[in-house]
Amino acid sequence: MAEQDGFDPNTVLNQGVISRAARGRERNAAEQTLLITGLARSGTSMLAGMLQSAGIWLGDHVYEPINEDAEIAQMLRARDFARLDALIARHNAKAPVWGFKMPDLHQFLQHDELSRFRNPHLVVIFRDPVAVAARNALSEQVDGMQAIIDATSAMHALAQFVRASRRPFLFVSYEKALVFPRSFVDNVLDFCGIALDEAGRTGLLRHVQPNRAQYVLTANRTFEGIVEGVLEGRLYGWARHVGNLMPLLLDLLIDDTLAATFQAGEFRDDLLAANLGNGNHAFFLDLGDLDVTDSSVVRIRVNGRTFELANSGMSLAELKALRETR
């Protein structure tokens, strides 16, 4: 009946895709930068892994299953534009089309700062906010209600960021990608201007699957640590990622303003004796060059995470007093 009436059901089938195509000089440009983003835990790793398999270079420091370049992520979080601009120039010289994955990109760049990239195209994946909130609550140990409030607010902010940028964009739905995987693959490749034959497109379907075991294992991180006090003008304590011996990157916030990013990688005998990894998890941060007073509220959190160390949120005076009470 549908064929006799000339009706194509695909014209009203919701496949979870909204896009703004390139215009003018952008339309047929051979050079572009693909900015892969979305809320954290919304499917950005799946999307980035698929594009990487499709031949898009995502940087020199990309590791599965997260598929995020650690170098560019660090620069964006620190808003280190001198290093970022140099990296962009190197990447532009290396490849006419390249990209990177950065969840919550809108939190690290203003919409007009996208002009730093060559012909930027935004590839954005959205997920059911309850699923995003539940995953964040599990992985980051936050209250579920607060997690969903944060997720819905962030979703709105991300959409506003994309609209204000006036750049070409593709919005895709994580849930619809699982229902219509081939349509998802085709829409992403077509938007990015990637030409693959039938076998190549079919091969990308392996990326479109929920709850990949390796990703879930990596995404569920457990952190622990404590700010122990101030000694000779240095803030000290320890922090680690349980089950991982690599030094942990931490952020220092003074009165809720990011003041420094540093590593917890110093050795202490007492940490080793307490079976806290290999003992290389301590930090001693010189406060001399920082704008901090006794009344300042000092917070230390895991870089790029919401997890804060024990005693984070105390005033500097309170932290100084901790040592006196030991």
Strand arrangement of the beta sheet that strand 120-126 belongs to: 17-20, 169-173, 120-126, 32-38, 97-101
Q: Which CATH number fits domain 223-324: 2.60.40, 1.20.930, 1.10.238, 3.40.720?
A: 2.60.40
**% of the chain with per-residue pLDDT over 70:** 89
- Tell me the average pLDDT across 207-234: 77
Q: Do the domains spanning 2-219 and 223-324 agree at the CATH topology level?
A: no
255-312 per-position pLDDT tens digit? 999 999 999 999 999 999 998 988 999 999 999 989 999 999 999 999 877 789 999 9
The widest CA-to-CA distance across the chain, in whole angstroms, is 86
pLDDT category at 125 given cuts 50, 70, 90 is very high
Of 36-50, 72-86, 213-227, the one with minimum mean pLDDT is: 213-227
Residue with tokens 């599990």: 138
pLDDT of residue 214: 55
φ, ψ dihedrals at 36, nearest 5°: -95, 115
pLDDT of residue 5: 62
pLDDT of residue 141: 63
Ordered by start, the domain boundaries in the chain are 2-219, 223-324
Residue 283: in which H helix or E strand, if any?
strand 280-286
Of 51-65, 187-201, 206-220, the one with minimum mean pLDDT is: 206-220
Structure tokens at 237: 């304590």
- Tell me the average pLDDT across 217-237: 84
pLDDT of residue 312: 95
Of 156-160, 166-170, 179-183, 217-221, the one with minimum mean pLDDT is: 217-221
pLDDT of residue 198: 95
Of residues 34 and 22, the one with the higher pLDDT is 34
Structure tokens at 285: 């941060």
- Tell me the average pLDDT across 134-145: 75
Strand partners for 169: 20, 122
Residue ranges in 121-250 assigned as alpha helix (H)? 129-140, 144-165, 174-179, 181-192, 198-203, 213-219
Fold of domain 2-219: Rossmann fold (3.40.50)
The answer to whether the pTM exceeds 0.95 is no
pLDDT of residue 211: 65
